[in-house]
Amino acid sequence: MATATLKIFLTYGDPKRLRTAELSNWTGKAVSGPRSEFDKVLERQESQGAGVYFLTGTDPETNKSAIYIGEAECVKDRVKAHLSRDFWNNITFFVTKDENLTKAHIKYLEGRLIDIARTTERAIVMNSQGSGAKLPESDREEMEVFLEKMQQVLPVLGVEAFLDKSSSSTHGNQKKELLNCNIKGLVATGYLTPNGIVVLKGSEAVLDERASAQKWPSVLVQRNKLIEEGALVEKDGVFVFEKDVEFTSPSSAAATIHGGSANGLTAWVNKDGVQLKQLQIV
């Protein structure tokens, strides 16, 4: 993505309360706020325009991040119907300052956003079905630019469902450096991201848990969850990652691979065998 200047206005001075966000030289505008200030969000003039909106929170059944993506010709009128949903605790919506979004435009954006969120798998998409609309080529390209701008703003407002693991691992033209985590002849490969570390599909993990895991079972919570979800599958006496998995830290990834507590700063090394803790020394 291109560099950008983002202007955030904190309506009440609190970064967790009602706020607006705008990129320089872009007609789009975002409004975001907690559910506790739902009425104040809808009092905004922007809520009367056409746009796309996001309800974010936690799925009560799985305790995972969840998101609902919608579109409306009048955001204010549509989102009131979602008060019966109890999973969400924050609302964010985008409109244009020139009021130039048509029904076809916002339906196209909604469909693309649902597809992206389902692909990244960072959050459970609460929509029961997809959407979308066909657009003339020129309009479609214009909406793709609009979509890219939205994806720059959303993470700053706390909506990370659309972050692509692969793209977040590089900065400009800098290539990601692959790291290895080795144990008992098994190899796992990954790379650092702004959110932690991604372990790549095909990486291996030990089958048996360490004895220490019985004393500190919390370190294997994510490992057990990945096994339950089928992301970590037993094959020929080892566990194999069936897809790329992002962990919040190198240590949590190493614990999953080692079958017990591990220091990620020493467990992960580069192709020359240099430990991560040495690579991070400035």
In the chain, how long is the greatest CA-to-CA distance?
Answer: 63
208 plus 143 within the same structural domain: no
How many residues can be counted in the chain?
A: 282
Residue 123 included in any domain: yes
Domain final residue pick, 157, 185, 219: 157
Give residue 165's pLDDT. 65
Give residue 156's pLDDT. 95
Q: How far apart are CA 8 and CA 12, in angstroms?
A: 12
Domain final residue pick, 102, 136, 157: 157
Residue 86 included in any domain: yes
Beta-carbon neighbour count of residue 220 at 10 Å? Answer: 22
151 plus 174 within the same structural domain: no
Residue 163 included in any domain: no
Residue 164 included in any domain: no
102 plus 152 within the same structural domain: yes
Residue 56 near residue 92 (C-beta atoms within 8 A) = yes
Give residue 282's pLDDT. 53
Residue 262 included in any domain: yes
76 plus 205 within the same structural domain: no
Give residue 175's pLDDT. 65
Give residue 168's pLDDT. 45
206 plus 142 within the same structural domain: no
Give residue 232's pLDDT. 96
174 plus 145 within the same structural domain: no
264 plus 132 within the same structural domain: no
The H or E element containing residue 258 is: helix 250-258
Residue 1 included in any domain: no
Residue 162 included in any domain: no
Give residue 215's pLDDT. 76
Domain final residue pick, 131, 157, 183: 157
Q: Considering its fold, how many domains does the chain have in total?
A: 2
96 plus 182 within the same structural domain: no
Beta-carbon neighbour count of residue 165 at 10 Å? Answer: 17
97 plus 174 within the same structural domain: no
What residues of the chain score a pLDDT lower than 70?
Answer: 165-175, 282
Identify the domain containing residue 259 by its residue range.
Answer: 169-279
**Phi first, then psi: what are they for 217, rounded to 5°?**
-65, -15
53 plus 191 within the same structural domain: no
Q: Which of 217, 149, 209, 125 is nearest to 1 (CA)?
A: 149
111 plus 202 within the same structural domain: no
**DSSP secondary structure of 118-161:** HHH-SSEE--SS-------HHHHHHHHHHHHHHHHHGGGGT--T
Give residue 86's pLDDT. 92
184 plus 145 within the same structural domain: no
Distances (CA, A) of 62 to 117, 191, 203, 228: 17, 27, 25, 12
Residue 215 included in any domain: yes
Inter-axis angle of helices 250-258 and 221-229, nearest 10 = 70
pTM: 0.79
Q: Which of 110, 107, 106 is nearest to 125 (CA)?
A: 110
Question: Is 255 buried (19+), middle (13-18) or exposed (0-12) by CB count in 10 A?
Answer: buried
Give residue 1's pLDDT. 73
